Amino acid sequence: MIRTLGFGLPRLGPNLEYKRLLEGFWSGLLSQEKLLAGLQELEGLRATAYREAVDLHPAGELSLYDPMLDLAVALGLYAAPAGDLEAYYALARGNGALPLRKWFGTNYHYLVPRLPERPQYAPRPGWFPYPIGAPQEEGLPTLIGPYTLVRLAQNPPASPMEVQAHLEALGEAYGELLGWAGGRTVLLQEPALGLDGAGDHLSWLLPVYRTLAERTPLVLLTYYLPLEPGVAEALAQLPLKGLGLVYQPGSPLPHPAPGTALVLGVVEGNGVWRTDLAALQEALTPVVEAGQEVWLTSKAPLFHLPWRVAEPLPPGLEGRLAFAVERLKELSLLKGLLLGEGNPEAQAWHTPPLPWDRVPSPIPPSRPSRQVRRQGQKDLGLPPFPTTTIGSFPQTQELRALRRRLRSGQLDPAAYRARIQEAIRENIRLQEELGLDVLVHGEPERSDMVEFFAERLEGFHTTQGGFVLSYGSRVWRPPILFAPPKRRGSLVLEETLYAQSLTPKPVKAILTGPITLAAWSYLPQGVGFRETVLALAEALREEVKEVAAQGIRMVQVDEPALLEKLPLRERERPGYLEVVREAFLRVVGDLPPGVQVHLHLCYSDYAALRPFLEAMDPDVVSLEGARQDPSFLEALADLPVDLGPGAFDVHSPLEARVEEILARLQGYLRHLPPERLWVNPDCGLKTRKPEEAVANLRNMVEATKKLRERMGGKDADRT
């Protein structure tokens, strides 16, 4: 038997209904009643979309904010009485909110719960999944499984004994939670079973799953990562209704117990190109003919994709893309093919990849030695503890309105440019008045650090309405790379040169790096991450060369995605480090020693950073530090690179006082020699109000002056 299962259809809905409902409630425009009614209606819309295409789909997917938070509350980890949405949202976005973290290397952020110190849980079956997936709903009730919770918590148990204790306690708690399903088949989502080390935990996990499966019909769904063969085989022996795993044509499938369906992730949940259904038909036919019950599904939940392909596409892209709704359709087309139905649409569905003609150019020679660079950069004339910013200045409503008018044609490009120049003039004037040492143009022309480059590079398609969820109600529009990226003209050159023409102080040329551009876009068809990154690096290389040729002395590469793209699997990490090294060298490797290379990183776990800095060998690294314990610098202290751990938190609307900044800088100096410390904010100032940004920068400069006085200038001499 063959069935189709859809899951993870965007909770945003076809027209951002989810965002509007949540934000309406938070702003007080919508009552709780209206919010819940709106969500019910949205759930109806989603159910219809599922029903039109697939045989099976989950119920209870429409979290009020985040499914991990729902689970934490349902397990009694936090107090949020059923029906008390204020208490629930306080956990998501209040003062003591749970931290956010990237979910399995995707751009979705989940709320990270804390496990109780002692393995005791107080399940509240009535709460879960409140209120949307109530048992009267159609569909398979779904929730995230105990193993994923344990692995992804703030405090994953350290010793094997503790892991065992938590899993056993959770097994009982889940037993109670699953009772709410009233005997219906439950879809238990366990993507963490694909992580390294899952095999070591199986001996405790298997009995837990077995007990649950004996009481409740259970589909154990894994996705994102293919399972290790040993793990898959062991899980397949459980008395499950179905075992879900990422299908890899050519790799052997596990042999499930009789009556257990193999739920195969066959279409992408995280990429946009239509699936080669004929190839899958060929690969899967023997499995089906052998009598194995197969359910067809996606390799990842579909919320990493926009709802559906709904706007006109440029000529080469028509008929090539599949977003969430089209993925559901693919499942049904594939089922038809496997059942031997001749469907012309299924036959014509997929087109071979567009050509990817890229002749790789030779890697530039390695960068000049650190000593030669120091010598070459001496004339930059930097004082001790140089002050600078990360790039963006506040993006006012006015700037956003200008961009909208440019897009809609109400404003002509020349007028837009004049307004951008005006903003740059104002930013330079302000920085000079504040007394900053290294200036920036302020990025008024950039909507978003990835979309902006995607719009200026050939090879990218950007959408108007292709939104996906980032966290809570926050959305973004990933661009689609479809051909080797090419520089059409200035990316950052024009604005940087204009800014530099207004001041004798050095202005940094600021570019989003190749890793981040690739990480926050959809990859080209049939082209891997590595090749994409290197192609992007090549496009930036041209720009960077030009920037230096025109006399700019500092280049900053922004790579906030560097560490989040660190592969989940240990064995893939050395290869990743190599890609990062080569890509960075391609971007900045042609620069003469006199051009200072800055790297910016933020909001990551810096534990893995050191080998990357060694491999990339920048001159200066700015990173967010105001929310971290300064001791993370210890591991970097002996590297020959200058560091600018953030002097203040750019996300706080509270003013950072001079004394507070000074204390923070002194804290950094306990871990770093003075000649290596730079002074800058954590990240860009884009989201701050102008007066907040100015106050904080003024205090930052003031604190630096005090620091210079205290250090007597001598110890901190840079020469």
Q: Are 623 and 601 in contact (CB under 8 A)?
A: yes
Q: Which residue in the shown chain puts its C-beta closest to ligand GLN?
A: 684
Using rule CB under 5 A, residue 623 touches Zn ion: no
182-190, 287-295, 525-533, 598-606 -> range binding Zn ion (CB under 5 A): 598-606
- Residue with smaller CB distance to ligand GLN, 390 or 587: 390
User: Shortest Cβ distance from residue 449 to Zn ion (Å)?
Assistant: 9
- Residue with smaller CB distance to Zn ion, 534 or 683: 683
- Residue with smaller CB distance to ligand GLN, 320 or 600: 600
3-state SS class at 509: strand
Task: Classify burial at 344, counting beta carbons within 10 Å of its beta carbon; exposed 0-12, middle 13-18, buried 19 or more.
Answer: exposed
- Closest alpha carbon to 174 in 190, 162, 198, 193: 190
User: Shortest Cβ distance from residue 449 to ligand GLN (Å)?
Assistant: 5
Which DSSP state fits 367? Answer: P
Q: Pick from 60, 67, 391, 394: which binds ligand GLN (CB under 6 A)?
A: 391
Using rule CB under 5 A, residue 599 touches Zn ion: no
- The token pair at 656 is 């950072």
686: partner contacted, choices ligand GLN, Zn ion, none (Cβ within 5-8 A by kind): ligand GLN
Using rule CB under 6 A, residue 618 touches ligand GLN: no
- What residue spans of 368-492 are helical by DSSP H? 370-377, 397-407, 413-434, 451-456
106-114, 390-398, 412-420, 577-585 -> range binding ligand GLN (CB under 6 A): 390-398
Using rule CB under 6 A, residue 558 touches ligand GLN: yes
Q: Pick from 115, 602, 613, 647: which binds Zn ion (CB under 5 A)?
A: 602
385-393, 414-422, 459-467, 590-598 -> range binding ligand GLN (CB under 6 A): 385-393
391: partner contacted, choices Zn ion, ligand GLN, none (Cβ within 5-8 A by kind): ligand GLN
19-27, 470-478, 519-527, 678-686 -> range binding ligand GLN (CB under 6 A): 678-686
- Residue with smaller CB distance to ligand GLN, 171 or 513: 513
CA dihedral (432, 434, 439, 440) positive or negative: negative
Q: Are 612 and 580 in contact (CB under 8 A)?
A: yes
User: Shortest Cβ distance from residue 426 to ligand GLN (Å)?
Assistant: 17
- Residue with smaller CB distance to ligand GLN, 326 or 564: 564
- Residue with smaller CB distance to ligand GLN, 505 or 600: 600
Using rule CB under 6 A, residue 600 touches ligand GLN: yes
Using rule CB under 6 A, residue 477 touches ligand GLN: no
What are the two backbone dihedrals, phi and then psi, of residue 59, each rounded to the nearest 5 degrees? -120, 150
Strand partners, 623: 601, 645
Using rule CB under 6 A, residue 564 touches ligand GLN: no
Q: Pick from 388, 392, 532, 622: which binds ligand GLN (CB under 6 A)?
A: 392
Counting residues that bind Zn ion (by CB under 5 A) gives: 3
2-10, 386-394, 562-570, 695-703 -> range binding ligand GLN (CB under 6 A): 386-394
- Residue with smaller CB distance to Zn ion, 292 or 556: 556
Task: Classify burial at 532, counting beta carbons within 10 Å of its beta carbon; exposed 0-12, middle 13-18, buried 19 or more.
Answer: buried
449: partner contacted, choices ligand GLN, Zn ion, none (Cβ within 5-8 A by kind): ligand GLN
Using rule CB under 6 A, residue 686 touches ligand GLN: yes
DSSP codes, 420-431: HHHHHHHHHHHH
Strand partners, 536: none
Q: How far is residue 13's CA from residue 48's CA, in Å, rounded to a whole number?
A: 12
Q: Pick from 72, 231, 402, 510: which binds ligand GLN (CB under 6 A)?
A: 510
User: Shortest Cβ distance from residue 560 to Zn ion (Å)?
Assistant: 5
Q: How far is residue 597's CA from residue 364's CA, in Å, rounded to a whole number?
A: 15
588: partner contacted, choices Zn ion, ligand GLN, none (Cβ within 5-8 A by kind): none
Using rule CB under 5 A, residue 132 touches Zn ion: no
Q: Pick from 149, 220, 683, 703: which binds ligand GLN (CB under 6 A)?
A: 683
Q: How far is residue 512's CA from residue 265's CA, in Å, rounded to a whole number?
A: 33
Place of tokens 């398979």: 140
- Closest alpha carbon to 69 in 413, 471, 464: 471
Q: How far is residue 330's CA from residue 338's CA, in Å, rounded to a whole number?
A: 12
Classify each residue of 89-108 as buried b or exposed e, where b means 16 or more C-beta atoms within 10 Å of its C-beta: bbbbbeeeebebbbbbbbbb
- Residue with smaller CB distance to Zn ion, 10 or 560: 560
Site string for Zn ion, 660-689 (x = CB under 5 A): -----------------------x------
Using rule CB under 5 A, residue 621 touches Zn ion: no
- Residue with smaller CB distance to ligand GLN, 5 or 492: 492
Task: Please identify every residue annotated as catalytic.
Answer: 651
Query: Interaction with ligand GLN in 432-451: which residues (CB under 6 A)?
Result: 443, 449
Which DSSP state fits 564? Answer: T
Which DSSP state fits 446? Answer: -
Q: Are 585 and 367 in contact (CB under 8 A)?
A: yes
Up-side HSE of residue 111: CA atoms within 13 Å toward CB?
25
Q: How far is residue 531's CA from residue 253's CA, in Å, rounded to a whole number?
A: 29
User: Shortest Cβ distance from residue 500 to ligand GLN (Å)?
Assistant: 17
Using rule CB under 6 A, residue 299 touches ligand GLN: no
Using rule CB under 6 A, residue 514 touches ligand GLN: no
- Residue with smaller CB distance to ligand GLN, 166 or 686: 686
User: Shortest Cβ distance from residue 454 to ligand GLN (Å)?
Assistant: 15
Task: Classify burial at 313, counting beta carbons within 10 Å of its beta carbon; exposed 0-12, middle 13-18, buried 19 or more.
Answer: middle
- Residue with smaller CB distance to Zn ion, 99 or 160: 99
- Residue with smaller CB distance to ligand GLN, 112 or 449: 449
335-343, 388-396, 471-479, 664-672 -> range binding ligand GLN (CB under 6 A): 388-396
557: partner contacted, choices Zn ion, ligand GLN, none (Cβ within 5-8 A by kind): none
Q: Are 149 and 510 in contact (CB under 8 A)?
A: no
Q: How far is residue 386's CA from residue 174's CA, in Å, rounded to a whole number?
A: 55
Using rule CB under 6 A, residue 684 touches ligand GLN: yes
Q: Are 339 and 2 in contact (CB under 8 A)?
A: yes
- Closest alpha carbon to 305 in 64, 61, 477, 451: 477
Q: Are 268 and 290 in contact (CB under 8 A)?
A: no
DSSP codes, 290-357: TT--EEEEESS-GGGS-S---S---GGGTTTB--HHHHHHHHHHHHHHHTT---HHHHHS--PPPP--
Site string for Zn ion, 523-562 (x = CB under 5 A): -------------------------------------x--
Q: How far is residue 665's CA from residue 659's CA, in Å, rounded to a whole number?
A: 10
Using rule CB under 5 A, residue 647 touches Zn ion: no
Using rule CB under 5 A, residue 515 touches Zn ion: no
User: Shortest Cβ distance from residue 556 to ligand GLN (Å)?
Assistant: 7
510: partner contacted, choices Zn ion, ligand GLN, none (Cβ within 5-8 A by kind): ligand GLN
Using rule CB under 6 A, residue 602 touches ligand GLN: yes
Q: How far is residue 71's CA from residue 261's CA, in Å, rounded to a whole number?
A: 26
Where along the sequence are the contacts to Zn ion (CB under 5 A)? 560, 602, 683
Where along the sequence are the contacts to ligand GLN (CB under 6 A)? 390-392, 443, 449, 510, 558, 560, 600, 602, 683-684, 686
